[in-house]
C-alpha cells in the first residue's frame, strides 16, 4: 500500500505554493466507495491511466478534489489528498480561499486544498512526477512517518469501516482527529 508513503511529501505548484501532505485516503478498484468500482467512465478515466498522474474530480456541485493515481494502466486506484500543511505561498492560497482564514484552515480538507492551490478540472491528468508540470509531488528529504495514524475514511456511505485513512501523528493541519 503506497498511500502512507505520500505522507510528508511536498505538493508543489510552480507559482510558489507549497504544502506538506499530512493526510491521505486510499481507494482501490475492488472498493465500492471508489469511483472506479464500476469500471472506466469519462470522469474516472485518468485513474485507469499511468501511476503518478493526478485525478481531479468535481463533487457536491462546488468542490474539486486531488488524487494521485497509484496503480498501473488498466487498474483504477488512487490516493485522495485530504490535507496539507501550508509551507510557502500562503498569500496566494489566502487569495484563493478567502482572506481571514487561519493557516490551519487553508488546506485542512480535500476541497480546501484544491481551492488553495487553484486546482480545477483542467488539472486532471497532469503528471505529478514530471518536473516541468504545473503541479508536482516531490520529497524534501523528510521521510514518511514510521508511526502514521490509521483510521476509517471520511464522508462515505459504503465501505465505512475500512482502515484506509492515514495522517501524520500530532499534525494540527489534518482535517479531523
Residues 6+ apart with CB under 8 A from 31: 37, 159, 162, 164
Q: Within 102-141, which residues bind DNA (CB under 7 A)?
A: 105, 109-113
Q: How far is CA 5 from CA 11, 83, 118, 172, in A?
A: 13, 15, 24, 19
CA–CA separation, 108 and 172 (whole Å)? 9
Q: Does position 144 bind DNA by CB under 7 A? A: no
Nearer to DNA by C-beta: 142 or 160?
160
Count of residues near DNA by CB under 7 A: 38
- Smallest distance from DNA to CB 125, Å: 13
Which helix (H) or strand (E) is 80 found in, with range?
strand 78-88
At residue 88's C-alpha, the angle toward residues 85 and 91, to 5°, is 105
Q: Does 96 bind DNA (CB under 7 A)?
A: no
Q: Is 162 in the site for DNA (CB under 7 A)?
A: no
Considering only 9, 20, 97, 165, the residue that binds DNA (CB under 7 A) is 97
- Contact letters for DNA, residues 2-31 (x by CB under 7 A): -----------------------x-x----
Cβ distance 128 to 68 under 8 Å? yes
143 DSSP 8-state letter: P
Q: Which residues bind DNA (CB under 7 A)?
A: 25, 27, 33-36, 38, 41-44, 47, 55, 58-63, 65, 67, 78, 80, 97-98, 105, 109-113, 153-158, 175
Amino acid at each position: 500500500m503506497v498511500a502512507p508513503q505520500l505522507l510528508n511529501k511536498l505538493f508543489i505548484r510552480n507559482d510558489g505554493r507549497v504544502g506538506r501532505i499530512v493526510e491521505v485516503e486510499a481507494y482501490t478498484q475492488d472498493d465500492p466507495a471508489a469511483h472506479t468500482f464500476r469500471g472506466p467512465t469519462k470522469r474516472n478515466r485518468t485513474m485507469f491511466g499511468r501511476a503518478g498522474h493526478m485525478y481531479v474530480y468535481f463533487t457536491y456541485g462546488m468542490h474539486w478534489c486531488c488524487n494521485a493515481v497509484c496503480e498501473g494502466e488498466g487498474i483504477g486506484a488512487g490516493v485522495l489528498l485530504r490535507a496539507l500543511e501550508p509551507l510557502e505561498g500562503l498569500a496566494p492560497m489566502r487569495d484563493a480561499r478567502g482572506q481571514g482564514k487561519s493557516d490551519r484552515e487553508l488546506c485542512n480538507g480535500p476541497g480546501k486544498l484544491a481551492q488553495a492551490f487553484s486546482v480545477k478540472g483542467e488539472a486532471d491528468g497532469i503528471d505529478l512526477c514530471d518536473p516541468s508540470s504545473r503541479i508536482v509531488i516531490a520529497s524534501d528529504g523528510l521521510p514518511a512517518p514510521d508511526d502514521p495514524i490509521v483510521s476509517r475514511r471520511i464522508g462515505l456511505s459504503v465501505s465505512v469501516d475500512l482502515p484506509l485513512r492515514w495522517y501524520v501523528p500530532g499534525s494540527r493541519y489534518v482535517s479531523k482527529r
